[in-house]
Structure formats: structure tokens, C-alpha cells
Copies of this chain bind each other. A is one copy, B any other.
Amino acid sequence: VTQSRADEGSDLRQAIQQLVVANRILAHEGVLDVFGHVSMRHPERNDRYLLACSRSPELVTADDILEFDLESNALDDRGLTLYSERPIHGCIYQARADVKAVCHNHAHSLLPFGITGVPLKPVFHVAAAIGYEVPTWEIRDEFGDATTLLVTDNDRGHSLAKALGLGTTCLMRGHGSVAAAGDLRRVVYIAITLMQNAAILSESLRMGAVNYLSPGEVEQLRQRVLAPRSLDRAWDYWCERAGFPTRPAVENQRS
């Protein structure tokens, strides 16, 4: 955090730092690579969100985080290039007052589901967080078959937000996915789990008839896997792996 932010409130500074860590975690775990991004709603103003300038998440630092209104205009772009797909974030924040964080990613294991139309549903307990079934947004339905696939304006953003509906995840055919949740740590959890569930389901589908989680199991699990005791454990682990240790180094006997 540089001097230029010395006048900002500590809530905002903490939020920015947490968003940097979320960027690094999602990059380290393979959810984000060159492309994709993660945002959070402004901690003090519901009509704004925080998102990095156009930078690969692995490289994002606190100085890259900018503020946007819900039309996805930068309050002050400081001359930086912006992600062209920021309407994904703004339109979901507009549509969903309960959503405080959004991740757009192209994790490789989930792309085949959007490409083939095979339903993506949770098959192991921690993946209940993704919902009963992940819908797919087909940009061709509303915008024709000669688009860039990209969500570069608010019309496309509203269309995607509608496909997401009241859920937490949505696939985008030939492109990627979005995850949305009530706080940043939950979005990180959901995005990582969505990727893992896709890989496990792909393998299961090749092997035989798949026994998905039942509706009752998803119902029982979806709150539980996102409860603080689960998130705390996960967050500490992902922070450590991404180079942001949360525990005293002296306790670690490794050479």
C-alpha cells in the first residue's frame, strides 16, 4: 500500500489487500491464468466495486486496484488500461444485492461442459457450493453467432447476469464461467471447487453411470461447506501456497 492511499479508510485498505491475495490465490490454484479476473463490492459503498486494471491476476498488486461504479466506469483510471469484460462484474452487482464478490475465469477443466452442453452438477461433498446444476450462458441466443463471445458492454452483462439468476455459478459456452457469492473468500472457494468438480465429473462420466449428489445432500451441504470453519481452514491453506503465510514461520520445521 503506497502513500497515495494513506488517506483511505482502513476497511478499504484491508479490502484491497484481501483482493490482491484473492488474485494471487486464484492464479496459484490454476483458476486464473493470463486472463480472468476477480472483484469485490466496495466495503463502504454498495454502488461501487473494486477490480484490478488490465493485468494478469498473478501480477496484481494493491496499486493496481481501481474503483468502478455499477455501470463499470472507473472513478479514476489513473491512465491504466482496463479489463474489457468488467461489465460482467458491474451487471452482476446490479442484479444481485446479496453478491459481494465475483470471479470470471476460464479454468480448463470446466470448458468442455460449456462446449458440449453436458450438465455440470456436484458429485463430491465440497462441491455442493456450486449449486444443484450449473446453467450455461449461450451468447448466440441473444447476440447471434458472429460475436467475440466477450462481455464487453452492459447489454451482454445483463444477459449473463440473467443466466446466472439467483445461483452462484454459470458457464459461458466456449469462453469460461462466473462465480458470485456473499463475500470474497466464498467466491474463491466456489471458483476453485467448480474447477475441481468439473475434472472429477469428467473422469466419472468416462467411467460409468454417475451418482450425483442428491438435492437433499446439496441442500444440507451448501451452507455448511461455506461456513466460517470451512472457509478459515481453506483460506489459510491457499494463502500459504500462494506465498502469503498466515502462520508464524518459526512453527514450520521445514528446511
Contacts and interface: CB of A to CB of B under 8 A. Distances in A.
Interface of A: 20, 24, 33-35, 54-56, 58-59, 61-63, 81, 84, 106, 108-109, 111-113, 115-118, 123-126, 140, 144-150, 173-176, 196, 199-200, 202-211, 213-214, 216-217, 219-221, 224, 229, 232-234, 236-238, 240-245, 247, 251-255
How many chain copies?
4
B208 A117 contact: yes
A99 B114 CA distance: 34
A251 B23 CA distance: 14
Contact of A207 (B20, B34, B202, B236): B202
Given A56-B236, A59-B240, A220-B148, A211 B125 contact: no
A113 B200 CA distance: 10
A115 B108 contact: no
A174 B34 contact: no
A65 B106 CA distance: 36
Contact of A208 (B116, B174, B210): B116
Given A20-B253, A174-B213, A202-B203, 14 more contacts: A33-B237, A55-B233, A59-B240, A84-B229, A108-B196, A112-B207, A115-B210, A116-B210, A125-B149, A140-B214, A145-B216, A145-B217, A146-B217, A149-B221
Contacts of A207: 112-113, 116, 118, 202, 205
18 contacts: A24-B254, A34-B233, A34-B234, A54-B232, A54-B233, A61-B252, A81-B232, A108-B199, A111-B204, A112-B207, A115-B200, A115-B211, A116-B207, A118-B207, A140-B214, A174-B213, A174-B217, A202-B206
Contacts of A254: 24, 242-244
A255 B251 contact: no
Contact of A111 (B34, B147, B200, B242): B200
Contact of A233 (B35, B111, B255): B35
B125 A240 contact: no
A252 B243 CA distance: 10
B35 A126 contact: yes
A216 B196 CA distance: 32
A113 B126 CA distance: 17
B111 A124 contact: yes
Contacts of A174: 123-125, 211, 213, 217
